[in-house]
Structure 1
Amino acid sequence: MLGMVRNWFDRIFAEEETVVLLIIISVILLLILSLGHVLIPIIASTVLAFLMQGVIARLAAVGARPWLAMTIAYGLFITLFFGVIILLLPLVWQQLVTLVQELPTMLRKLQQVLMLLPERSELFNEAQIREWMALATAEFGSMGQYVVSFSLAQLPNLVGVLINIVLIPILVFFFLKDKQMILGWFASFLPNRRPLLTAVWLEMNDQVANYVRGKAIEIVIVGVTSYIAFSLMSLNYAALLALTVGLSVVIPYIGAAVVTIPVLLVGYLQWGWGGEFWTLCIVSGVIQALDGNVLVPLLFSEAVNMHPVAIIAAVLVFGGIWGMWGVFFAIPLATLVKAILYAWPRVDEVEATVPAEVE
């Protein structure tokens, strides 16, 4: 038994570098699980720096000097960052407060519709529906009190948000300006000979960059398209629902199905079974179909070559461990696991390289 364990251990940790990689992964996971809320500005800044690095690479490809490319990219980032904070977030917050205030009226309309179900099906009875509606009313009521009553109890959270708003642009600037210096500092703690770490880094750098940039573009395109469509239809809470639809693309396969429910529910409570409601159904379906069949293949191509089952499993596992951040980074993290498994040296590979090194 001990011999089997020893052979397995020798096969997994065939080189010293694999132990270093295991330590790095363990330290990163420990920091995320213990200090994840503290590291949010650094993580968010790293993601945003990845996005701007793509802009810098495009500008450098057309002959722009490094300092000019970085200046343009950072200026674009500042414009978008504060544009979202100043223009989009207040509108979304206003619509969210309005939605919460109108929830009791909407719930009464929904209850009237659901009370017709016992007449059409034996699977439902009036007591069940009243129990569901009482539970929903209690949940929405507690949420409404939190959203509407923005009291001094939330002041520390507000201060934290303001600090992050100041910190993130500063961190993004230094991540872009001193990228090579920061990477060199991290590399100084690693072994001089690191083929495994280099292979994993190269693949992850490409995969994460492509995924983050592609996902950001997808969120913007889907969100803006949904907002234009909802506004033209005069749908209530157009900005709030469009933001929800845009963010839903972060969760592959599941997000589109889940976010369709509140969109159609708001449309039904506003228009009933009229032509506007069925138009909304068609528009929502077309947006989701174009996103899944045109936009996603165009943006990602074969960058993330993983089976849908593996992607859904990654979303469930990493989302359960790290919440929304885990959902967003589920595919890159799954790609990291895949890259490590493929790049991990086998004992036979190590033995094959020994004679060449001795010679």
Structure 2
Amino acid sequence: MMDTRRWVWVLGVLVIGTLLYFLHGILSPFLIGIGLAYLADPLVDRLERAGLSRTWGVVVVFALFTLVFMAMLLVLIPMLAKQLVRLYELAPQMLDWLQHVALPWVQTRLGLADGFWKFDKIKSAISEHMGQTTDIVGIVLSQATASGLALIGWLANMVLIPVVGFYLLRDWDLMMAKLRRLLPRQREEQVVSLALECHEVLGAFVRGQLLVMLALGVIYAAGLMLVGLELGLLIGIMAGLAAIVPYMGFIIGIGAALIAGMFQFGGDLYPMLGIVAVFMVGQALEGMVLTPLLVGDRIGLHPVAVIFAILAGGELFGFTGVLLALPVAAVIMVLLRHMHDLYKESDMYAGEIDPDL
């Protein structure tokens, strides 16, 4: 009987993996909808406790999400596009500085031969490529509209995501209750315990670390823009995204900001000190306020595990694999933790010797 049950579980996993492989092209809007429902469920639960019905709570949350999305679409995206154009204009100056200042300094310190970098060829190749891409918006639009069916499919997915998310969020608690009733009675408590651990691990990252990244992106971008850095918004968002790995956002952000500030302010001391102060304040807030408040003592996913999971998921299943990476990594982490505990309790670890031998 036990062998039969094991084969049933193995067969179920194989069927699910096969379906994911063949259907991954159409799963993206459904997975994004599930992710939205998972993230928004605590907000709707709070609104329910405040006296709203489930449906009206979902409507309020979706209205809030819509306002945030429209604000990003109308304000943030045009500002980012403007800064990307400015970065495109500064690229030749950065290449000249790299060729005539930075690389010769490194070459002198390391004692490298003249012409070691072969930078003229690199620069000519980059300049030629840039010369062919002057109309960035035109190229993006031409690629997006190259296939009418692809464009229609993309628009359909964009419309499908909020629809799927709305209905999943409205019925989230009912679906969770039905799934729990389907569990084998003798294993229900164990499976629910594992599921709660996975939820804690995933929630500690998604609702914790991602909120820290968002807050740092806002702090860095606002501070750099107050200093007067032209590329402040772009660098701030980049530093916030890189904060998925501790200290990487700080290192990448302050490095890029100082280089951009050098080109804009010409080495003026006070703006450069302002840039450094922005990142110091961001680091202090992250260590003393953001991480303790948003993440706390919960054990989330290790940053290296997150990077590996996302890359592996993208390699195996494309964009669908990226969406599945974090939940699968959370489950694997919980299972490995339990396997570690079982190993520590086993005779193999304790090294007990059989007296009959």
Residue 168 of structure 2 aligns with an amino acid whose one-letter code is F
Aligned positions of 1:38-187 closer than 5 A: 38-117=26-105, 120-131=108-119, 134-135=121-122, 138=125, 142=129, 145=133, 147-148=136-137, 149-155=139-145, 156=147, 159-183=152-176
The 2-side partners of 1:218 and 1:150 are apart by 32
Asked if 1:297 is matched to 2:316, the reply is no
The 2-side partners of 1:184 and 1:84 are apart by 36
Asked if 1:317 is matched to 2:308, the reply is yes
Contact 2:236 2:253 in 1 (8 A): no
Contact 1:47 1:212 in 2 (8 A): no
Deviation at 1:176, TM superposition (A): 0.8
TM-score, scaled relative to structure 2:
0.75
For residues 294 and 239 of structure 1, do their structure 2 counterparts lie closer, same or farther at Cα, with a shift above 3 Å needed?
A: same
1:224 to 218, 223, 227: 218
The 2-side partners of 1:15 and 1:142 are apart by 61
The 2-side partners of 1:189 and 1:136 are apart by 63
* Counterpart in the other structure of 1:242: 236
SS at match of 1:127: coil
* Counterpart in the other structure of 1:198: 192
TM-score, scaled relative to structure 1:
0.75
* Counterpart in the other structure of 2:282: 287
For residues 305 and 92 of structure 1, do their structure 2 counterparts lie closer, same or farther at Cα, with a shift above 3 Å needed?
A: closer
Deviation at 1:136, TM superposition (A): 6.5
Aligned length: 331
* Counterpart in the other structure of 1:265: 259
Deviation at 1:326, TM superposition (A): 7.0
For residues 213 and 124 of structure 1, do their structure 2 counterparts lie closer, same or farther at Cα, with a shift above 3 Å needed?
A: same
The 1-side partners of 2:93 and 2:279 are apart by 25
The 2-side partners of 1:273 and 1:97 are apart by 23
CA deviation string 1:105-130 (max 9, x = no partner): 32223322224415741344442344
- Please say which of residues 59-68 and 198-207 is displaced more in the overlay: 59-68
SS at match of 2:140: coil
Contact 1:49 1:172 in 2 (8 A): yes
Contact 1:251 1:327 in 2 (8 A): no
SS at match of 1:98: helix
Residue 279 of structure 1 aligns with an amino acid whose one-letter code is G
- Please say which of residues 179-188 and 39-48 is displaced more in the overlay: 179-188
Deviation at 1:54, TM superposition (A): 1.9
The 2-side partners of 1:127 and 1:86 are apart by 48
CA deviation string 1:173-208 (max 9, x = no partner): 111112244445656765454334322222223332
The 2-side partners of 1:80 and 1:52 are apart by 14
Deviation at 1:93, TM superposition (A): 2.5
The 2-side partners of 1:25 and 1:258 are apart by 41
- Please say which of residues 101-110 and 329-338 is displaced more in the overlay: 329-338
Residue 80 of structure 1 aligns with an amino acid whose one-letter code is V
Contact 2:239 2:252 in 1 (8 A): no
The 2-side partners of 1:248 and 1:331 are apart by 17
Deviation at 1:42, TM superposition (A): 2.1
Deviation at 1:26, TM superposition (A): 5.3
Q: Give unpaired runs (5+ residues) of structure 2.
A: 346-357
Deviation at 1:27, TM superposition (A): 5.4
Deviation at 1:241, TM superposition (A): 1.9
CA deviation string 1:280-307 (max 9, x = no partner): 123223313422443122211122267x
Contact 1:21 1:197 in 2 (8 A): no
The 2-side partners of 1:94 and 1:164 are apart by 28
Identical aligned pairs, as a percentage? 26
The 2-side partners of 1:266 and 1:21 are apart by 56
Aligned positions of 1:2-13 closer than 5 A: none
For residues 181 and 220 of structure 1, do their structure 2 counterparts lie closer, same or farther at Cα, with a shift above 3 Å needed?
A: same
* Counterpart in the other structure of 1:6: none
